[in-house]
Structure 1
């Protein structure tokens, strides 16, 4: 192929979706983050991408990798976050630490999703969620280059404001009726579970997740970066639980939203190996009901959890954060090769 001047037209099928100028801005973005932690004497660490265990979370799908270990074929998993390995370091070393690394979640493609993306995760010993939120705000100020005010918004209040019913006390029928009223039809969570008390809680959380993602999330963080706090207990994952001012059990965690996009997820970390095992086993029961593969439980993490010091931890999606900072509409603008072009 040639152009009007009879010169060859270069084949740009290999070209990145991110411009050189954006790559330079991204490099500066990463430099600011590393300098932020260096001045606070937070140790940068590196943990393996591959693990014999996987994430049991029902709706996070790990990327499996077939490897040969000691001349035997076996399945490993690319980590969905560095959390499990970092907690083993934290239990051993008991110092503040952070990591910037690629993480992997299968079947996630879109303007805000990619199978491989970059995560910042850090842990602070003896921090509660208030201290972690304050440090997150300081990091945002360093990246924005000006003071930042974080809005705090209870999950219950956000749900009532945008959905119109109390998420922790509304009946299953009420949740389903509101979902149908908002056009969220075609979902039948009842058929996924057996008729047990635990299953009722799982069905309830499925409706809450659906309503929150479609009716609440898009409205969050447009005026100020917003922390959603006091989540339902079924979303605790590896976080502690507590009782809110109304007497409801809630998860001790928060999520950061900016411009309707989830950016970060923080826990007051649970240091109880047996409790974690029970949660992981319950996750695998849910995976079975959804015809998803059972995931090997990380026995190293279970053992380390009992020695974990009081701490809080947070994971930040750096590609998304950079995207909202510069006003981009797609991850393709801030990463070189999206999964479809890798």
Structure 2
């Protein structure tokens, strides 16, 4: 083992600056009377999202004589929504999250997430508050806002909500991925590929950009718009090539959420992915009554990369996975 591997990934001076920014974030929510909460990192269930992969471990011994599978949480979302359903009011959390994916420039399997929920807000009101937080941390001024449709039309020249496959192929050829798109049966996978290659590099270079109203098929845990059923009331935040946050005007209908989970499971089965252990306690919380709210998850490490002008996530973490 290299002797240098005992040392932290980030400098001690930068870790001091990290601590100062996190203190500012806590004060930001304290001023707004948003309560800080602490929820479990381990759960008996995991997410069904086909793009997320959970770490699994096993509890054994007297507490679980037949052994109990447990999952490290990809985000504190489900537990936090159960608190909201129990009457917590507006809440936030700075938590460790875990995703079983490749480590890289913007990814570490263990990372720090800021997640918060505002009762009575829709996604636009939450974007307003996010803009205030970004100004506090980054001093970046106002944010641009583009609908998903506007972003595609501006940079790829077509409406992604109604486009035919031939339009996808024209864009894919220009981007050098025609072979991939020709073989891909899933419309959303094609849209995500074209967005990442043809839209993301051209937005949010000078100031942050909210992209909102993603296709309804990409709603995740967001409401479908009551005025336009083609889109979901979901947004993502980008800045200087980094995806910073994912937010929703939250779905509160337990039956609709259960149907979305079932669709995820069906996709997993067809595509040879392991079935997810669904969170029935979360669904019970929704059924009991999740208040109308908006919520967002923001990657603290990525935010700090921008704040400190760093190019790799390990430069803002005390110990990356290589040094853990």
* TM-score bucket of the superposed structures, by smaller chain: over 0.9
Deviations 1:189-238 (A, max 9, x none): 8676xxxxxxxxxx111110111112211222111111001111111111
Q: Is the 8 A contact 1:42 1:98 kept in 2?
A: yes
> Take 1:64 and 1:35, find their aligned partners in 2: how far apart are those partners?
34
> Take 1:191 and 1:21, find their aligned partners in 2: how far apart are those partners?
47
Are residue 74 (structure 1) and residue 68 (structure 2) matched? yes
**What is the aligned partner in structure 1 of residue 202 from structure 2?**
219
Are residue 256 (structure 1) and residue 250 (structure 2) matched? no
Q: Is the 8 A contact 2:153 2:159 kept in 1?
A: yes
Are residue 167 (structure 1) and residue 150 (structure 2) matched? no
> Take 1:269 and 1:190, find their aligned partners in 2: how far apart are those partners?
34
**What is the aligned partner in structure 2 of residue 229 from structure 1?**
212
TM-score of the superposed pair, with normalisation by structure 2: 0.94
Q: Is the 8 A contact 1:113 1:331 kept in 2?
A: yes
Deviations 1:304-341 (A, max 9, x none): 11300110001100000110122111101101221122
What secondary structure is seen at the aligned counterpart in 2 of 1:264? strand
In structure 2, the CA distance between the partners of 1:49 and 1:186, relative to structure 1 (3 Å rule), is: farther
Aligned residues: 320
> Take 1:333 and 1:191, find their aligned partners in 2: how far apart are those partners?
36
Q: Is the 8 A contact 1:176 1:207 kept in 2?
A: no
> Take 1:185 and 1:64, find their aligned partners in 2: how far apart are those partners?
37
Unmatched tracts of structure 2, length 5 or more: none
> Take 2:7 and 2:296, find their aligned partners in 1: how far apart are those partners?
34
Greater mean alpha carbon deviation, residues 309-318 or residues 63-72: 63-72
Q: Is the 8 A contact 1:94 1:125 kept in 2?
A: no
> Take 2:217 and 2:47, find their aligned partners in 1: how far apart are those partners?
16
Are residue 132 (structure 1) and residue 126 (structure 2) matched? yes
Q: Is the 8 A contact 2:169 2:181 kept in 1?
A: no
**What is the aligned partner in structure 2 of residue 116 from structure 1?**
110
What secondary structure is seen at the aligned counterpart in 2 of 1:93? coil
Q: Where has structure 1 moved over 4 Å in runs of 4 or more?
A: 188-192
Match of 1:241 among 208, 224, 227: 224
Q: Is the 8 A contact 1:54 1:79 kept in 2?
A: yes
What secondary structure is seen at the aligned counterpart in 1 of 2:67? strand
> Take 1:189 and 1:318, find their aligned partners in 2: how far apart are those partners?
37
What secondary structure is seen at the aligned counterpart in 1 of 2:213? strand
Deviation at 1:11, TM superposition (A): 2.9
What secondary structure is seen at the aligned counterpart in 2 of 1:13? helix
> Take 2:262 and 2:316, find their aligned partners in 1: how far apart are those partners?
37
In structure 2, the CA distance between the partners of 1:207 and 1:45, relative to structure 1 (3 Å rule), is: same
- Say which one has the larger Rg: 1
Are residue 57 (structure 1) and residue 49 (structure 2) matched? yes
> Take 1:55 and 1:190, find their aligned partners in 2: how far apart are those partners?
28
Match of 2:256 among 249, 261, 275: 275
> Take 2:137 and 2:174, find their aligned partners in 1: how far apart are those partners?
41
> Take 1:218 and 1:61, find their aligned partners in 2: how far apart are those partners?
26
> Take 1:182 and 1:337, find their aligned partners in 2: how far apart are those partners?
37
Q: Is the 8 A contact 1:47 1:82 kept in 2?
A: yes
What secondary structure is seen at the aligned counterpart in 2 of 1:251? coil
In structure 2, the CA distance between the partners of 1:182 and 1:78, relative to structure 1 (3 Å rule), is: same
Match of 1:34 among 26, 51, 68: 26
> Take 1:51 and 1:277, find their aligned partners in 2: how far apart are those partners?
18
Deviation at 1:147, TM superposition (A): 6.6
Are residue 328 (structure 1) and residue 310 (structure 2) matched? yes
> Take 2:145 and 2:241, find their aligned partners in 1: how far apart are those partners?
15
Q: Is the 8 A contact 1:51 1:76 kept in 2?
A: yes
**What is the aligned partner in structure 1 of residue 93 from structure 2?**
99
